[in-house]
Amino acid sequence: MGKIKSCFNSLGLKVGISLLLVGIIPMMLFLFFNNIVVSKYFSEIEAKNILFKTQQVNKRIQSKSLELERVVKDYAMWDDTYEKIQQKDEKWIKKNFLDGIPNDFDIDLIVIANKDKKIVAEYGLGDNDVLPLLEDKMIDQAFKEDIYNENDNFKGIKEYNGDLYMVAFSPIFKSNHEGVSRGVIIFGKKITPKFLKEIERQLGYNVFFVYDNKFILNDGINAEIRQNIHIISKIKGNHVIELGKTRIIGSTYMKDISDEKVGYVGTIESRDIFFSSVSFVRRNTFGILLLSLSLIFIISSKLKNNIINPIKNLEKQITKISEEKLRMHVNVNGPNEIIHLGTVFNKMIDSLFKHKRENENLRNISNTDELTLLYNHRYFYECLNKSIGQGMRPITILFCDIDKFKSLNDIHGYNTGDIILKEIGNIIKETVKNSEFIFRYGGEEYVVLLENCLSEQSLEIAEKIRVNVMRSKKLKKNIGYRPITISVGVATYPFHALGVEDLVEKANKAMCFAKQNGRNQCHIYKKDMDDLVDKNYYEFEKQEMLMDSALALAAAIDVKDEYTGKHSELVAKYSLLLAEKLNLSEQDQYVLRIGALLHDCGKIGIPNDILRKPGKLTDEEFEIIKNHTILGNNIIKYVVKNSGIVSCVRNHHERWDGRGYPDGLSEEYISLYARIVCIADTYHAMTSDRSYRNGLHQEQAFEELRKNKGTQFDPNLVDIFIQTIYENTVEKKL
């Protein structure tokens, strides 16, 4: 009895039992709960990953729909289609639509119907009734449109005759969008296992489609889907379902062309990675426990302090990491086994945070605009709602819109437009100094979110953005040294609005007010802007259309005169270079740019045989040419009311000595805008090649300008112009 009592009273046994109770049991509990947390974390990653892949499939289908829309729009806006449909030329229609398109573009359905919904041609209908397809509310609306509307082209998913199609349709107009609609063209591509197989080949995911209790899938997953039909049939839209321990399914809704839910697309993949990861954690947990027990029983009698203290130290560090959610490595001293325990734990921490970083990267991608790398429209609303929800006061937004961006795209192309969008995004970032709160709202619109910033302070920031955009040489070089401007509206929560949507609307109103009052401006929202913007909307749109027409007219003149090429653009470029050298105001430069672009618009009324005559003009022909200033004045006076722009059109052939035309003005009675355009116009004319002579070299043209200063040209501008052109020529060479 005494021996037994002595054995239980031994220091070695007490140390062993104490270490077991104090060290191993808490560690077991910690590792057990940690295993649960890790399993849950991996499960969440697995679900997010499968949903992300499902969204990728959805995007790929949308991309295919967009390609189909481009094809149908190309054929619907073909002048030959417009005429042949009217003539009911069946031979032409068969040759150009039914014989080639199905194979060329892998199209399964073609329907061409006139305005009365009578079928002119069809492919892929067979004996089926096409009426349900034509009676779709979106397609039916397209039949009712007589005048071209760019929003009448649609694409999407459509169920027809028990099958599912990607459908795109477009009204039939001429290529210039003129004339009355002749009807509608519909192209369709059936969603088949072959189609899904192509998506799987591109993305590497197993894909299936479910609609109206029907499945579209390929042989690779057919058996697995059929075996689990009772589970899969319960899927409703955006959802994740586990098929036991082997497979997981993610799904998302698909909508038809009328924005109605037509079914869902799903992806299915193996759960091997998930279970191997969980198994790995469990094996490590079990191994750690065995190692700890062995160490305790071996050295408990001799190394009490060396074991207890390192375990307590490790326990403290783990608790700190868990409670404060820190990313840090544990650092322990003691036997190699305990050090190894810390190393394994550190590896587990690294693995967890690696997955967390990957998840954050995926989130950043979903929140980022692909072109400008700014945050996107969706994330803007998320951030604004979050700031308001956290009680932040005040919050100001700057609603920025690029002026006349559509014209820039039309004239210089979409590649140049993309460059401009990216560069303006960079300018806003450099100006605001906090890219975390800058968003591309959509198209040519940007939003800046400023926390703890009142309207007056925000207006100063908006002005800096506006000035930096207007002065950017990099932007100007991309479009022939024309200035690019933006208009900015400012609104502050809670002073101007109490809700998110209302705040954005108020900032947008202020931006529209800036545009209606001449663009290139910044304004803080005021109550009277609502009525003013709405009241002036139609007049503003009318003036926009007139100005766009006038600028298009100027471009048409450049095309008409084959010897000068982009004459108006280059005259505008030279004029603005001189204006910058003269330190003219922003408004003066804007007026000069429009005036220079339009200065020769009257030549639209000059006969081509005179305008393109290869030899010297007769006196009568020259008199006709001179009349282009009056013709231009008569055109432009209905478009703009600015006297500076009108003077560029009417008076750019006036002379300093008063011997010019049409009004015989002299010296400073000629507006400064017209005097600048006169020099730029003459310089470009002298350096341009003609059929009867080669253009002058730069120095020869400079000498002619010097000879005529004080007679034809303003003597105060000639030398400055020559210096400006020379400096920019040298800069280009460098």
Could you read off the pLDDT of 144-166 as tens digits, one per residue? 777 887 776 678 888 888 788 88
Categorize the per-residue pLDDT at 549 as very low, low, confident or very high, splitting at 50, 70 and 90. low
In three state form, how does the secondary structure of 402-434 look?
ECCHHHHHHHHCHHHHHHHHHHHHHHHHHHHCC
pLDDT at 732 over 60: no
Check if the beta carbon of residue 349 is closer than 8 Å to that of residue 329. yes
Categorize the per-residue pLDDT at 703 as very low, low, confident or very high, splitting at 50, 70 and 90. very high
| Residue 114 tokens, joined | 């006139």
CA distances from 420 to 306, 386, 478 (A): 67, 31, 8
Count of residues for the chain? 734
| pLDDT given at position 662 | 94
Residues 456-485 have a mean pLDDT of: 83
| pLDDT given at position 667 | 93
Residues 491-510 have a mean pLDDT of: 91
Domains of the chain (ranges, CATH numbers): 2-44+276-366 (no CATH), 77-190 (3.30.450.20), 196-270 (3.30.450.20), 377-526 (3.30.70.270), 547-733 (1.10.3210.10)
- In sequence order, which residues have a C-beta less than 8 Å from that of residue 14 and are 6 or more positions away? none
pLDDT at 11 over 50: no
Torsion sign across C-alpha atoms 707, 710, 716, 718: negative
Distance separating the N- and C-terminal Cα atoms of the chain: 103
> Strand, helix or coil at 188?
strand
pTM surpassing 0.85? no
In 161-292, the DSSP E strands lie at 163-171, 183-190, 206-211, 214-216, 239-243, 247-255, 261-270
What share of the chain has pLDDT > 70, as a percent?
A: 77
pLDDT at 112 over 80: yes
Residues 235-261 have a mean pLDDT of: 75
CA gap 241, 51 in Å, rounded? 11
H or E element, residue 135: none
| Residue 489 tokens, joined | 């509206």
pLDDT in tens, 305-347: 666 677 777 777 677 766 666 666 777 676 777 777 777 767 7
| pLDDT given at position 727 | 86
CA distances from 348 to 46, 222, 436, 670, 705 (A): 18, 38, 31, 80, 78
Categorize the per-residue pLDDT at 734 as very low, low, confident or very high, splitting at 50, 70 and 90. very low
| pLDDT given at position 413 | 79
Residues 635-660 have a mean pLDDT of: 89
| Residue 508 tokens, joined | 């947008």
Max mean pLDDT among 87-91, 250-254, 303-307, 608-612 falls in: 87-91
pLDDT in tens, 32-41: 666 676 677 7
CA atoms within 13 A on the CB side of 184: 28
| pLDDT given at position 491 | 94
Helix axes 672-687 and 586-598, enclosed angle (nearest 10): 50
Check if the beta carbon of residue 317 is closer than 8 Å to that of residue 331. yes
pLDDT in tens, 290-311: 776 666 666 555 555 666 677 7
Check if the beta carbon of residue 417 is closer than 8 Å to that of residue 409. yes
pLDDT in tens, 61-82: 888 888 888 988 888 888 888 8
pLDDT in tens, 566-594: 788 889 889 989 998 999 987 788 789 88
How far is residue 702 CA from its own chain's centroid?
Answer: 45
- In sequence order, which residues have a C-beta less than 8 Å from that of residue 175 and are 6 or more positions away? 77, 78, 79
CA distances from 324 to 23, 311, 351 (A): 22, 20, 18
What share of the chain has pLDDT > 90, as a percent?
A: 19
pLDDT in tens, 377-402: 889 999 899 888 888 889 999 999 99
Residues 277-297 have a mean pLDDT of: 68
Check if the beta carbon of residue 491 is closer than 8 Å to that of residue 510. yes
In 320-432, the DSSP E strands lie at 395-402
Residue of higher predicted confidence among 716 and 637: 716
Rg, the chain, Cα only = 37
| Residue 579 tokens, joined | 């204006």
